[in-house]
Amino acid sequence: MSAAPRHIPAGTVLFRAGDPCRGFVLLREGSLRVTLTAANGREVVLYRVTPGELCLQTYSCLVQGRDYSARGVAETDLLAEIIPAADFHRAMGADECFRIRVFEAVARRFADFERLVEDIALTGFPARLARALLRLAGHDDTVNATHAQLAAETGSGRAVVSRQLARFAAQGLVRPDRGSVTILDRAALVRTAAEPGA
């Protein structure tokens, strides 16, 4: 089962809350960011989809016959296949290898959600922010993200992020700049990230 791969530019919104599902998304290249926005406008990053991973929103919509409840944006340029819903259902019933791959991907994504809940509910904010900075840092230890974007990554508010970054800066861990953060002491940030109650 396959569809012609499509090139999708970075920044493209693949789906929004309330949109019907057009098909099963299979990524060959790139990263898709899936976010949830509350009524008050606060946004949280649920997960990212990279090649070999499953978009749980798309899977749930296809299986349950419902509309999307979150937003999916191409974080980078994508090369993706959009498998029509009828072909997806046919493959789930007839193609055992495909079905196993999908179920394994669902299990991995569920584990990601368990980690997300643990991070938000059971982990102190300094550790949560440190983990986000380490996860998003490029090869040069620069995180190209605004305070608002880091708030979405950590399920918090912009002011909370700003205060914690100022504390990290005072400790010599990071240097916040306009629209980015540079990690100055990676080892110390790793230690902070490992402290559940930090």
- 3-state SS of 51-71 is CCCCCHHHHHHHHHCCCCCCE
For the chain, residues classed under CATH 1.10.10.10 are 124-193
**pLDDT of 194 higher than 90:** no
Would the CA dihedral through 182, 186, 190, 192 be positive or negative?
A: negative
The predicted-structure confidence for 47-75, as pLDDT tens digits, reads as follows 889 998 888 889 889 989 999 999 999 99
pLDDT at 115: 74
Q: Are 10 and 74 in contact (CB under 8 A)?
A: yes
In this structure, CATH architecture of domain 124-193? Orthogonal Bundle (1.10)
For the chain, residues classed under CATH 2.60.120.10 are 6-121
Q: Are 151 and 161 in contact (CB under 8 A)?
A: yes
**pLDDT of 122 higher than 70:** no
CATH class of 6-121: mainly beta
Q: pTM (2 decimals)?
A: 0.66
Q: Which residue has the tokens 């009828």?
A: 86
Q: At 2, is the pLDDT very low, low, confident or very high (cuts 50, 70, 90)? A: low
pLDDT at 197: 58
Give the separation between CA 137 and CA 135, rounded to whole angstroms.
6
Q: Are 73 and 33 in contact (CB under 8 A)?
A: yes
The predicted-structure confidence for 21-55, as pLDDT tens digits, reads as follows 989 988 999 999 999 887 777 788 888 899 988 88
Give the separation between CA 130 and CA 112, rounded to whole angstroms.
18
